[in-house]
Structures are given as C-alpha cells and as structure tokens.
Amino acid sequence: MLKSTRIGTGKINYVGETLEVSATLSALNRLGLEKGCDGIEAADQLQAKKHPGIAELLYYMQVNSDHSADEIYDWLFGDLTAFMENDEGVKDQVAKALVTMFGLRIAEQLPQSGDAQKKDGV
C-alpha cells in the first residue's frame, strides 16, 4: 500500500469524543462535486465561513465515522459560550487538525535561524 508523506489525519478531542479528519482525494472529490467546484477551492470557501463552514468541512473530511454536519456543528459549537470559554486547547486542536489534514509541511512551521551557516532546528 502506498503511504503519503504529505496528508495526515487530524484529530479533535472534545467533550469525551474524538473526530478524525483527513483531506483524502475521495473526500475532496466528494466535496467538490457537492459544491460545484474544485475540492480545495470548496474547502477554502468553507473555512472562510467560520463555525458553520468548519463544521461542514469536518463533515466531508471525517474518517472512520459517519456523523452529520449538524451533529459535528452541535458537538463543537452547540454551546458556543462553553466553546469560547474553554481553554485554547480545543480551538488549537481544530486549527491543527485543519493544517494536518491538508498536509502543510512541518518544516515550514519550525522556527528558522537567522544564520545562513547554521542548520535550521539546531
């Protein structure tokens, strides 16, 4: 089986439940067909819509589960006050899951040294 080095599975742990998401080709194709455009373009549009869009994006990208978009929205944002008052952990998990599932390179996220002679990360 081929293994990807770019796309990962993001995990969000919240209120005793876990949601796994990954931007697989089949998920992106399904999203694109549903929205009538390229899958990546549709994902960008959904992320711009904030809470409702992110819940819908997570719905299309979920792995090993079959939750509805409404269930995901209610799970994350049903009690928006509790979500906003929660420590940054959940918001960070959502952000990290989005980054992970779209395969953004880890090297780009590491601090870079200012010295051209030094190896980065050392």
Of the candidates 35, 32, 33, 27, which has an alpha carbon nearest to the alpha carbon of residue 60?
27
In a domain, 65, yes or no: yes
pLDDT value at residue 113: 54
pLDDT value at residue 51: 82
Q: What residue numbers bound the domain in which 41 lies?
A: 17-103
In a domain, 8, yes or no: no
In a domain, 98, yes or no: yes
In a domain, 47, yes or no: yes
pLDDT value at residue 14: 82
| pLDDT tens digits in sequence order for the chain, 122 residues long | 655 555 678 888 887 889 999 888 899 999 999 999 998 899 889 988 888 898 999 999 999 999 999 999 998 888 777 777 665 677 788 888 888 777 664 445 445 555 555 555 54
Judge contact between 25 and 38, C-beta under 8 A. no
In a domain, 57, yes or no: yes
Judge contact between 28 and 103, C-beta under 8 A. no
Total number of domains in the chain: 1
pLDDT value at residue 106: 46
Tell me the one-letter amino acid at 11.
K
Judge contact between 80 and 91, C-beta under 8 A. no
In a domain, 5, yes or no: no
d(CA 98, CA 40): 12
In a domain, 75, yes or no: yes
pLDDT value at residue 2: 56
